[in-house]
Structure 1
Amino acid sequence: MSVKIAFFDTKPYDEASFNEVNCQFGYTIKYHKEHLNIDNVALTKGADVVCIFVNAVVDATVIDELVNNGVKLIALRCAGFNNVDLNAAKGRIKVVRVPAYSPHAVAEHTLALMLTLNRKIHKAYNRTREGNFALNGLMGFDMFGKTAGIIGTGKIAKILIEILRSMGLRVLAYDLYPDKAFAEKNGVEYVSLDDLYCNADIISLHCPLNKDTEYIINKHSISKMKNGVTIINTGRGKLINTHDLIQGLKNKKIGAAGLDVYEEESHYFYEDRSNKVMDDDILARLLSFNNVIVTSHQAFFTKEALFNIAETTLQNIKDFVDEKPLVNEVTI
């Protein structure tokens, strides 16, 4: 059977990695630069599978059109699936994802944000390039002996925790389903959210986005935190109410923020907008703070991760075609 894949939101690195791995599978892949949405869903006619990324808009209307076009599988090449209407897909079209493509990559990027913000590496880089070697304003703190609060303790968080513990940090964790064996082995303390907020010097978000975690960081939770707390988000943008984050930065309650995700990122991230005026006032305000680092949802972006994404995505498709159990199926 010749399998045809309509591949959306294509970047050069996607095409290179998928073409390399596809040598093992032999599928026909049609690459499209656009995000999948109602305006371009017609491009899926004749395809058996659509392959999408985080910025696709796969609501009930799009799913209706996919079904009408004969598409049998939605293959997410990412872990998150909040952009797909699973209720509309149920019983009509299968959905698979890549649950973990490189937890080490994301954990390491999280640490990089922590260290860069603490030691003001971004400020020092800009200064020295202009011949300014003064140290004023660059003071950080020893991370050794500080307390990190980790919200969500999945694969990524566990790798980060092991790194932080090796650096001498105390780790507090919150998870609805605590891994007590891991905690005991690694010296982690599971606590309530309030206890975590009150005691953590650095808070890092690693929980999924759902109705219970949306805007888990808001003015009320921020008010419970230590003065000068550092907040890191390499999870999902809507875990943080950005307006409340900005207020916390303005009143110095929050000492620094490292964001690899943003709640309205689909309009900006993964694209070159350098020659256009930024019309998102909230993002522009975030970028104006010298104690905020925003990266473009790149925590996953390593050679190893791209290979794993391609391999898992194409294997998911093969399992579907071969009518094997879909180990990475997304269901409700």
Structure 2
Amino acid sequence: MAFTIAFFGTQPYDESSFSLKNADFGFDIKYFKGHLNKNNAILTQGVDAVCIFVNDTADADIIHIMAQNGVKLLALRCAGYNNVDLDAAIAAGIKVVRVPAYSPYAVAEHTVALMLSLNRKIPRATWRTRDGNFSLHGLLGFDMHGKTAGIIGTGKIAKILIQILRGFGMNILAYDLYPDHNFAREHQVVYTSLDELYHSSDIISLHCPLTEQTKYLINDYSISKMKAGVMIINTGRGQLIHTNALIEGLKNKKVGYAGLDVYEEEGDYFYEDKSDRIMDDDVLARLLSFNNVIVTSHQAFFTQEALGNIATTTLQNIKDFIEKKPLANEVIK
């Protein structure tokens, strides 16, 4: 019998890309639109592996149910794994694999798109001209050339972003627990402390993983250290920013712009069409009310190339597990 995989949180583009790539693997894939949770974990009965995305839940209770149902592998079709209880998975004997990099170019380029859209007020300008208003009042931007970008976390995505920003002629400050000094020398990056990065950066972009140490890294205290009018960009994880602190910073003009592709309570909204309902998340509604804030729906990864890479890597991870090969992308605590 074919190896059976249950996919949760499936969108039409997931089914299309995975079905195309699965022609080379021959797995029996069952697609479920709902996010994995306690109410639908029963659907993991009779499957060998479960595949989830960022807004699915794999806490201890759900992992226990999966283990009872005979699930042997949890495959994440994303890089982040903060939604998985690794201790519970280890105890249950369930291996966890992920897709560590699917298109760092996609995320880096979307990060720059947010910066340019905020700086040059592209959404507002577009709305105006469609309404026949060709006034430039209120659309003033700034030259990015010569400004300082503070990059927190210097992994693959951040390194591509840095090269793009260096092409604009920007100065780069960076912070990372494990700095890459060779890269820094080659691309004229200055590693510094978080305090100095906050103090000196015109634009701050977040590219670090979400851990207990980085949760709410951007808060009232850190914002108080930043330049007045700073631009904050987050294409990493929602809980890197304390949203209420960001709103206060926007209200008192300490934060001049915010570009968010992630939101700490995004699970109930992102990837779904909620346009026919009243928004009951007051914090998200407040964020969306600012004309100097752009929120996108966790779409930074969303390119044709990235979807293909996600499908190929995910299915190869599963194939390696079946064939008892070393799991290059296993998540190890």
Whether these two folds match at TM > 0.5 is yes
* Secondary structure in structure 1 of the residue aligned to 2:133: coil
Number of corresponding residues: 332
Q: Tell whether the 8 Å contact from 1:98 to 1:312 is kept in structure 2 after alignment.
A: yes
| CA deviation string 1:273-292 (max 9, x = no partner) | 00000000000000000000
Who is 2:47 aligned against?
Answer: 47
Task: Give the SS at the match of 2:67.
Answer: helix
Per the alignment, residue 230 of structure 2 pairs with: 229
* Within-5 A mapping of 1:67-146: 67-91=67-91, 92-146=93-147
In structure 1, the residue matched to 2:332 is 331
Q: Secondary structure at the match of 2:35?
A: coil
- In structure 1, what is the Cα distance between the partners aligned to 2:76 and 2:96? 7
Partner of 1:214: 215
**Secondary structure of 1:63 counterpart:** helix
Structure 1: which amino acid aligns with 2:206?
A: L
1:42, 1:248 → 2: CA distance?
Answer: 44
SS of corresponding position for 1:90: helix
Aligned mates of 2:306, 2:171 — CA distance in 1:
29
Which one-letter code corresponds to 1:296 in the other structure?
S
The 4+ residue runs of structure 1 with deviation greater than 3 A are: none
Q: Which SS does the other structure have where 1:137 is aligned?
A: coil
- Do the aligned residues in 2 keep the contact of 1:37 with 1:58 (CA within 8 Å)? yes
Q: Give the distance between the partners of 1:217 and 1:271, measured in 2 at CA.
A: 27
State the partner residue of 1:265. 266
Name the residue aligned to 2:15: 15
Per-residue Cα deviation, 1:122-179 (whole angstroms, up to 9, x for no partner): 1000000000000000000000000000000000000000000111000000000000
Q: Which amino acid aligns with 1:141?
A: F
**In structure 1, what is the Cα distance between the partners aligned to 2:287 and 2:62?**
33
Give the whole-Å Cα distance in 1 for the aligned partners of 2:295 and 2:193.
28
CA contact (8 A) 1:107 1:159 kept: yes
User: Residue 90 of structure 1 contacts residue 331 of structure 1 at CA under 8 Å; is this kept in 2?
Assistant: no
Aligned match of 2:161:
160
Cα deviation digits, residues 228-252 of structure 1 (max 9, x gap): 0000000000000000000000000
Residues of 2 paired with 1:143 and 1:290: CA distance? 20
Normalising by structure 1, report the TM-score: 1.00
Work out the CA distance in 1 between the residues paired with 2:174 and 2:108. 15
SS at structure 2 position matched to 1:115: helix
Secondary structure of the corresponding residue to residue 282 of structure 1: helix
Aligned-residue Cα RMSD (Å) equals 0.5
Alignment TM-score, normalising by the size of structure 2: 0.99
Shift of 1:36: 0.5
Following superposition, the deviation at residue 2 of structure 1 comes to 1.5
Q: Deviations over 1:80-114 (max 9, x none)?
A: 00000001011410000000000000000000000
Rounded Cα–Cα distance in structure 2 between residues aligned with 1:314 and 1:217: 36
* Percent of matched pairs sharing the same residue: 70
Structure 2 alignment gaps of length 5 or more: none
- Between the aligned partners of 1:27 and 1:58, the Cα distance in structure 2 is 22
Aligned partners of 1:178 and 1:202: how far apart in 2? Answer: 20
Residue equivalent to 2:276: 275
Query: How much has 1:186 moved relative to structure 2?
Result: 0.3
Deviation at 1:331, TM superposition (A): 1.1
Any gaps of 5 or more consecutive residues in structure 1?
A: none
Report the CA distance between 1:9 and its aligned residue. Answer: 0.6
